[in-house]
């Protein structure tokens, strides 16, 4: 009845301004969306929402919608000559990574104007290298009526750094699909500063804040509470407590749920959103040739290629020449593997000579146009020079080893930073530290880390090394307990202090007499920063193994019986070292990412964690910068072997 009254009032009182046009009604059918209905009637989704505010709660079958006149019907019948605009055109050649949005911003025109004079863009995306017509209006266009510029019930929203569709949808109480229907010209990725439409009501009243202490999940079709319990391990009561709207409205397809962060299962978490497990190798395309550059410090200008014996001596005596050759050998195996998958890769190899000036000349004298990605150089100075030079063409550059680089927008830092490793370790501890007796031992140089740990674990006990040189067993005993595991976090770069700490902890571990009373202590050792001191011969691996030492690491040890090692030995006559394996893992990852999507920046947003022989990759974008790898391992010593910790792997010995 209300719908009929609304239709009557609109039709009657708006008759003079609507001329002969008529509002229509539409009964929603199964499978229809706001976007599909808007296309059917040649109107904007925002117009449907403006006249049907009840749709904020979702589109339901058999709902009667008020449909305004289409754009064609709404054109006033006037002399066309009075409104015809004079227009000239500029040819624009589409460059790599450009979008309609970026081009419209560059020329200060509307996206619709670009499409109107390049009609093929209504049905497909831009193609790199194609030429499109950019209109330049010589006579001013009639300004929109300010009252009509913002549809009723909607508000403009400016996309913030690192915001994806799901975050904006969640913050405004709608689904991703509804957000896309409000903004039919949205691309796959949002761009910082982009203006989009959001519901004004939710913007004013809902004020949802994304809590980083939780993860989020998008409800799929035919998912009920029982299926979500099987998939996520969460009960209906837990979900309703975190998402009170479920108590009234129940589950709806596309709605975004807050879920406990500690849940684990056969899924990935990307930017806080739980997504289906992604296998990159199952999503590749083989219809395009990939172009990759490899830049390594061969220093061939210093190599004598005329004498095999001299060359062998030079390889053995030049550490980075040897490592470059090993890395290249691994990269070649990645190219062979790609070929077996049907992927065509064109590779160009360059010698950086570990010199910034050489790299600068290389950029000036080499045509990198059409290059999809560059791996290298190895060292910070030459790498930063290369990244700066290729930034103009927006070519992605991957840093194979170094972490101390400028994280420019086209840079991929492939080695996880110390901060990433720290977070990996403490998050691992967070899930398991309850019920443990936590102890921190840190020297004065590690004071910042000690303070961070105490802020995170305020009940932890502290043992300060005497003069930064040693600890004593009689000072450790008072902080140990028998009825709990004693987890000791050690932070130092001093070899002598570390050797002393591991020796004392080893002595304290197990059963012994203390003041004629037998006591048993179970001790486990951890660190957030496994530096070179831990690899010193003065630090006993036997002690580390007995203490089941846990630490974060960028890579894992692979078996010499792996398929990769066997094939490498067959081709090169020796087992691969870490540089050859790194060359294979990184090159293979870049190739597969390009085979999935040549726009590696889009790929970084979509692709979750990938893993190869010893390395894994999961890129996150830094605010106003490039991409850094957040994928790392937790390793531990056990029976003189180094193993990789898996979920729920820590078992009590009590």
**pLDDT per residue as tens digits for the range 188-217:** 667 767 788 888 754 444 445 566 678 889
Above 70 in pLDDT, residue 8?
Answer: no
- Helix 563-572 vs helix 578-596: crossing angle, to nearest 10: 110
What local confidence, expressed as pLDDT, does residue 71 receive?
54
Q: Which tops the pLDDT comparison, 643 or 9?
A: 643
What local confidence, expressed as pLDDT, does residue 354 receive?
92
What local confidence, expressed as pLDDT, does residue 23 receive?
65
User: How far apart, in whole angstroms, are the C-alpha atoms of residue 29 and residue 109?
Assistant: 37
Above 90 in pLDDT, residue 50?
Answer: no
The single residue listed with the structure tokens 């913002």 is: 150
Q: What homologous superfamily is domain 86-140 in, according to CATH?
A: LysM domain (3.10.350.10)
- In the predicted model, what is the mean pLDDT of the chain? 83
Q: Which tops the pLDDT comparison, 457 or 49?
A: 457
Q: What is the 8-class DSSP label of residue 290? A: E
User: How far apart, in whole angstroms, are the C-alpha atoms of residue 463 and residue 143?
Assistant: 72
Mean pLDDT of 255-282: 77
Are the folds of 2-67 and 149-275 the same? yes
- What fold is seen in the domain 2-67? Membrane-bound Lytic Murein Transglycosylase D; Chain A (3.10.350)
Q: Of 166-180, 194-208, 479-493, give the range with the top mean pLDDT.
A: 479-493
Above 70 in pLDDT, residue 312?
Answer: no
The kind and range of the H/E element at 259 are strand 256-260
Best CA proximity match to 469, nearest among 506, 502, 500: 500
User: Where are the alpha helices (H) located in 302-349, listed in sequence order?
Assistant: 308-317, 319-340
Show the tokens assigned to 356: 């910034």
Q: Which CATH class is domain 419-553+638-644?
A: alpha beta
**526-549 b/e with 16+ CB inside 10 Å = b?**
bbbbbbebbeeeebebebbbbbbb
The number of CA neighbours under 13 Å toward the Cβ of 101 is: 16
Show the tokens assigned to 315: 């390889």
Give Cα 277 distance to the centre of its chain: 14
User: How far apart, in whole angstroms, are the C-alpha atoms of residue 110 and residue 107?
Assistant: 9
User: How far apart, in whole angstroms, are the C-alpha atoms of residue 638 and residue 641?
Assistant: 5
pLDDT tens digits for 56-66?
Answer: 666 777 677 77
pLDDT band at 79 (very low <50, low <70, confident <90, very high): very low
Burial class (CB in 10 A: 0-12, 13-18, 19+), 79: exposed
Q: What is the 8-class DSSP label of residue 208? A: -
User: How far apart, in whole angstroms, are the C-alpha atoms of residue 500 and residue 494?
Assistant: 10
What local confidence, expressed as pLDDT, does residue 403 receive?
86
What local confidence, expressed as pLDDT, does residue 190 receive?
74
Neighbours of 473 (CB within 10 A): 13
Best CA proximity match to 505, nearest among 460, 475, 533, 536: 475
Dihedral-angle region of residue 637 (phi above 0 means left; psi in -120 to 50 means alpha; beta otherwise): beta
Show the tokens assigned to 397: 């550059």
51 Cβ neighbours under 8 A, 6+ residues apart: 10, 65, 66, 67, 68
pLDDT band at 162 (very low <50, low <70, confident <90, very high): low
94 Cβ neighbours under 8 A, 6+ residues apart: 103, 126, 127, 128, 129, 130, 131, 132
Burial class (CB in 10 A: 0-12, 13-18, 19+), 4: exposed
Q: Which of 19-33, 171-185, 411-425 has the lowest mean pLDDT?
A: 19-33
Mean pLDDT of 531-548: 96
Beta strands 256-260 and 214-218, pairing class: antiparallel
What local confidence, expressed as pLDDT, does residue 629 receive?
97
Above 60 in pLDDT, residue 468?
Answer: yes
> 165 near 176, Cβ under 8 Å?
yes
Mean pLDDT of 312-333: 83
pLDDT tens digits for 376-388?
Answer: 999 999 999 999 9
Show the tokens assigned to 119: 């009609």
The single residue listed with the structure tokens 């001329």 is: 19
Neighbours of 158 (CB within 10 A): 10
Show the tokens assigned to 463: 């043992």
Q: Is 523 helix (H, G, I), strand (E, B) or coil?
A: strand
Best CA proximity match to 558, nearest among 580, 588, 532, 542: 580
pLDDT band at 530 (very low <50, low <70, confident <90, very high): very high
Above 50 in pLDDT, residue 310?
Answer: yes
Above 60 in pLDDT, residue 505?
Answer: yes
> 597 near 188, Cβ under 8 Å?
no
> Span 282-409+587-617: which CATH code?
3.40.50.2300
What local confidence, expressed as pLDDT, does residue 290 receive?
97
Best CA proximity match to 501, nearest among 535, 463, 536, 537: 463
What local confidence, expressed as pLDDT, does residue 442 receive?
98
Q: Domain extents for the chain? A: 2-67, 86-140, 149-275, 282-409+587-617, 419-553+638-644
Q: What angle do CA 484, 488, 494 make, to 5 degrees?
A: 165
Best CA proximity match to 99, nearest among 72, 69, 132: 132
User: How far apart, in whole angstroms, are the C-alpha atoms of residue 517 and residue 329?
Assistant: 61
Show the tokens assigned to 145: 């009526």
What local confidence, expressed as pLDDT, does residue 127 receive?
80
Question: Which CATH architecture best describes the domain 149-275?
Answer: Roll (3.10)
Q: What percent of the chain has pLDDT over 90?
A: 47
Show the tokens assigned to 480: 């140990």
Residue 412 β-bridge partners = 398, 627
What local confidence, expressed as pLDDT, does residue 301 receive?
72
User: How far apart, in whole angstroms, are the C-alpha atoms of residue 357 and residue 301?
Assistant: 14
Q: Which of 87-101, 221-235, 419-433 has the lowest mean pLDDT?
A: 87-101
Above 80 in pLDDT, residue 234?
Answer: yes
To the nearest 5 percent, what fractions of the chain are helix, strand and coil? 40, 20, 40
- Helix 447-456 vs helix 418-430: crossing angle, to nearest 10: 30
Peptide bond into 377 cis (omega under 30): yes
The number of CA neighbours under 13 Å toward the Cβ of 324 is: 24
Q: Which of 266-270, 325-329, 344-348, 478-482 has the lowest mean pLDDT?
A: 266-270
Predicted model pTM: 0.64
Beta strands 154-158 and 195-199, pairing class: antiparallel
Integer-rounded Cα radius of gyration of the chain: 31
pLDDT tens digits for 395-427?
Answer: 999 999 988 899 999 999 999 999 999 999 999
What local confidence, expressed as pLDDT, does residue 308 receive?
57
User: How far apart, in whole angstroms, are the C-alpha atoms of residue 580 and residue 333?
Assistant: 9
Q: Which of 11-25, 126-140, 513-527, 602-616 has the lowest mean pLDDT?
A: 11-25
Cα dihedral across residues 390, 394, 397, 403: positive or negative: positive
Peptide bond into 615 cis (omega under 30): no
Q: Which of 110-124, 332-346, 453-467, 598-612 has the lowest mean pLDDT?
A: 110-124
pLDDT band at 147 (very low <50, low <70, confident <90, very high): very low
Q: Which of 76-85, 132-141, 355-364, 550-559 has the lowest mean pLDDT?
A: 76-85
**19-29 b/e with 16+ CB inside 10 Å = b?**
eeeebeebebe
């Amino acid at each position: 009845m209300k719908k009929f009254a609304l239709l009557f009032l609109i039709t009657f009182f708006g008759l003079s301004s609507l001329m002969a046009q008529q509002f229509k009604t539409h009964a929603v059918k199964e499978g229809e969306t706001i976007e599909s209905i808007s296309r059917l009637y040649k109107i904007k989704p925002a117009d449907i929402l403006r006249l049907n505010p009840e749709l904020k709660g979702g589109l339901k079958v058999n709902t009667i919608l008020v449909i305004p006149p289409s754009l064609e019907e709404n054109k006033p019948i006037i002399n066309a000559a009075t409104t015809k605009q004079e227009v000239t055109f500029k040819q624009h050649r589409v460059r790599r990574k450009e979008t309609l949005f970026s081009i419209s911003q560059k020329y200060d025109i509307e996206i619709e104007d670009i499409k109107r004079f390049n009609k093929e863009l209504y049905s497909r995306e831009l193609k790199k290298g194609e030429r499109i017509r950019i209109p330049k209006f010589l006579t001013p266009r009639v300004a929109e009526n300010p009252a009509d510029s913002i549809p009723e019930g909607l508000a403009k929203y400016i996309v913030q750094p690192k915001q994806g569709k799901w975050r904006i949808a969640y913050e405004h109480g709608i689904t991703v699909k509804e957000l896309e229907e409000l903004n039919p010209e949205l691309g796959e990725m949002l761009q910082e500063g982009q203006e989009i439409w959001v519901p004004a009501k939710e913007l004013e009243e809902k004020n949802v804040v994304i809590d980083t202490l939780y993860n989020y999940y998008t409800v799929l079709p035919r998912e009920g509470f029982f299926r979500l319990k099987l998939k996520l391990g969460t009960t209906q009561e837990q979900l309703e407590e975190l998402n009170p709207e479920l108590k009234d409205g129940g589950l709806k397809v596309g709605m975004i749920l807050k879920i406990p962060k500690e849940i684990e299962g056969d899924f990935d978490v990307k930017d806080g959103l739980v997504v289906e497990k992604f296998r990159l190798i199952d999503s590749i395309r083989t219809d395009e040739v990939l172009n990759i550059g490899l830049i390594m410090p061969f220093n061939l200008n210093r190599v004598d290629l005329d004498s095999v014996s001299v060359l062998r001596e030079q390889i053995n005596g030049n550490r980075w020449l040897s490592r470059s050759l090993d890395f290249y050998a691994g990269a070649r195996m990645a190219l062979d593997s790609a070929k077996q998958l049907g992927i065509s890769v064109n590779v160009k190899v360059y010698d950086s000579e570990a010199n910034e000036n050489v790299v600068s000349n290389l950029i000036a004298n080499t045509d990198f146009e059409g290059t999809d990605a560059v791996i290298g150089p190895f060292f910070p100075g030459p790498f930063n020079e290369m990244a700066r030079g290729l930034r103009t063409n927006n070519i992605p550059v991957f840093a194979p080893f170094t972490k101390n680089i400028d994280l420019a927008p086209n840079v991929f830092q492939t080695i996880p930073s110390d901060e990433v490793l720290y977070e990996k370790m403490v998050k691992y501890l967070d899930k398991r530290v309850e019920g443990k007796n936590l102890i921190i031992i840190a020297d004065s140089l590690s004071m910042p880390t000690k303070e961070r740990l105490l802020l995170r674990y305020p009940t932890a006990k502290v043992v300060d090394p005497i003069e930064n040189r040693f600890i004593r067993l009689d000072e450790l005993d008072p902080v140990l307990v028998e009825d709990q595991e004693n987890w000791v976090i050690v932070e130092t770069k001093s070899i002598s202090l570390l050797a002393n700490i591991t020796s004392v902890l080893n002595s304290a571990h197990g059963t012994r007499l203390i003041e004629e009373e037998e006591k048993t202590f179970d001790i486990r050792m951890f660190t957030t920063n496994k530096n070179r001191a831990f690899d010193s011969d003065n630090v006993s691996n036997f002690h580390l193994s007995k203490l089941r030492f846990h630490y974060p690491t960028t890579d894992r040890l692979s078996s010499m019986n792996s398929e990769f090692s066997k094939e490498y030995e067959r081709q090169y006559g020796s087992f691969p070292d870490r540089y050859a394996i790194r060359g294979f893992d990184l090159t293979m990852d870049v190739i597969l990412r390009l085979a999935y999507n040549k726009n590696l920046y889009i790929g970084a947003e979509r692709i979750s964690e990938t893993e190869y022989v010893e390395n894994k990759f999961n890129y996150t974008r830094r605010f106003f910068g490039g991409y850094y790898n957040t994928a790392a391992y937790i390793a531990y010593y056990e029976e003189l072997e180094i193993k990789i910790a898996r979920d729920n792997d820590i078992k009590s010995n009590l």
